Amino acid sequence: MQYIKCGSETFNFEIKPIGKICNLCKRETPVVTLTTQALKLCKSCFLRIQERRVYEGVKRYKMFDFKDRVGIFLSGGKDSSTLAFLLKRLYPTLNIQGIYLNLGIRYYSDQAQKTVENLCEKLNIPLFVYNLPKEEGFSIDEFILTDFKSKICSVCGTIKRYLFSKLAKNLGLTVIATGHHLDDLLSTYLTLFFQGDFESIKRLAPVSPPIFPGQAKKIKPLFSLPEREILYLALLEELPLESCSCPHGEITPSKKVKKWLEDWASENKTFKNQVYSVFLNKFIPLLSSKKESEAFFSCLKCGEYTSSPNQICGRCRRISLLERIPDRKLEFTREEWFSLKDKTNWVIFDVREKEDYLQEHLEGAKWVSPNLVEDEKALFKTFKPYKDKNLLFYCYTGRLSYLFVLKLRKLSFKAYNLLNSSY
């Protein structure tokens, strides 16, 4: 089986007996090997070890107490889902609130919302859904029309952080728990270190105190768990999971660092824990002893706190770019397309399999190979002759053709998708 994460990181796994007897309980059949020790464990011993790691981390860093209201922003992925599962299991009476941000990412956000709804039902956690297009009139996809077209994940991060703070306040949350794990933290730490961004490194500690008044504190209860073990836990517990098939997923610098870490760790099983221990016990205290008082202001547009000296927060600066674009259309319904009177400057592309194109296709449509979407250079070369045209793409479900549209928009083509009404 495969689990695919954002940016095409792929995990291959198989859950099957890996020996005769569990090294801990000496009773059950082992199904997982711990990453750091050569221990073959059964499902319940493996779960107990992960529970103990989380429990000890929460206690050591005093992450919350029972007066707190703890919010978990659920994405449908393995990390936030496992976090919700473990917190609910370890602290059944803790006041936990699940939150899902529906960012209006076509062919992704609605599906992930269903997965999160199933998870919350299974874990008996209340869920609050915030629908960005409905509440604020724009979606993350629309930033493909701005100068941020090649940095969608960065815009998405800014908008999400803004909503984390705002919703935490509205929902009365005192703590926000995130699913950052050992591999996430190490790769981000090394990436920031190479960039010299020591201020951001401080935020990688297991607990980040509020920056602005009234903000919730942020905690990372999974900070000592390796990513692969989180995935195994989610699978063994049969948590509903959404493979991250966000069409904007990209390979970021920290994902490349993660790959190096994997290579180093294959030679020395405790390598990651050693690096993280130096980071946590030596480096973070060194940085934290240098207290810099950061000035903060109320954003002149939205009223939320910001440290930006021009008093407009990052989220509002990005949205004002979007507001300057009058036509934000990226898709046509079939009705809209067929009722469009003037199609003289349009070229239609069918990105289905060739046999299906040959059997029947929209009038005047040209065929392009579905595989072309993987190759940016070939994509640019193929569509260069149509630079001044409006391009319409369609496939079976609308998903692949939408990917063509997003990639071509990044290359500054005027591309649109034909929505498949049966989808």
Least distance (Å) from ligand SF4 to the CB of residue 100? 12
Is 299 one of the binding residues for Zn ion (CB under 5 A)? yes
Q: Which residue has the tokens 């989180």?
A: 230
Closer CB to ligand SF4, residue 57 or residue 249? 249
Given a contact cutoff of 8 angstroms between Cβ atoms, the answer to whether 385 and 349 are in contact is no
Q: How crowded is residue 76: how many other Cβ atoms within 10 Å of its Cβ?
A: 24
- Return the closest-CA partner of residue 119 out of 278, 239, 265: 239
Binding-site partner at residue 301 among ligand SF4, Zn ion, none, CB < 5 to 8 Å by type: Zn ion
313 binds, among ligand SF4, Zn ion, none (CB under 5 to 8 A by kind): Zn ion
Phi, psi at 32, each rounded to 5°: -135, 145
DSSP state of 223: T
Q: Which is nearer to ligand SF4, 145 or 153 (CB)?
A: 153
With CB cut-offs between 5 and 8 Å by kind, which of Zn ion, ligand SF4, none does residue 248 bind? ligand SF4
Among residues 25, 180, 45, which one has the least CA distance to residue 33?
Answer: 45
Which of ligand SF4, Zn ion, none does residue 299 bind to, with CB < 5 to 8 Å depending on kind? Answer: Zn ion
> 36: which DSSP letter?
S
Q: CA nearest 222: which of 268, 184, 279? A: 184
Q: What is the DSSP string of 313-362?
A: -HHHHHHHHHHT-S----EE-HHHHHH-S--TTEEEEE-S-HHHHHH---
Asked whether position 301 contacts Zn ion by CB under 5 A, the answer is yes
The number of beta carbons lying within 10 Å of the beta carbon of residue 286 is 9
CB of 246 to ligand SF4, least distance (A): 3
Burial 169-181 (b: 16+ CB within 10 A, else e): eeeebbbbbbbbb
- Residues at the contact surface with ligand SF4, assessed by CB under 6 A: 6, 105, 140, 152-153, 156-157, 246, 248-249
Q: In angstroms, give the least distance from the CB of 355 to Zn ion.
A: 52
Instruction: Report, in Å, the least distance between residue 6 CB and ligand SF4.
Output: 4
Nearer to ligand SF4, 157 or 172 (CB): 157
Closest separation between CB of residue 311 and Zn ion, Å? 9
Residue 316 binds which entry of Zn ion, ligand SF4, none, CB below 5-8 Å type-dependent: Zn ion
321 binds Zn ion, rule: CB under 5 A: no
Distances (CA, A) of 72 to 50, 127, 173, 182: 19, 9, 10, 18
Q: Name which of 233 and 246 has its Cβ closer to ligand SF4.
A: 246
Output the smallest distance, CB 201 to ligand SF4, in A.
Answer: 20
Identify which of residues 105 and 235 has a Cβ nearer to ligand SF4 in the complex: 105
Residue 151 interacts with which of ligand SF4, Zn ion, none, CB < 5 to 8 Å by class:
none
Q: How far is the CB of 266 from ligand SF4 (least distance, A)?
A: 27
> Rule CB under 5 A: is residue 313 a binding residue for Zn ion?
yes
CA distances from 304 to 94, 291, 309, 311 (A): 28, 23, 14, 10
Q: What does the binding site for Zn ion look like in residue numbers (CB under 5 A)?
A: 299, 301-302, 313, 316
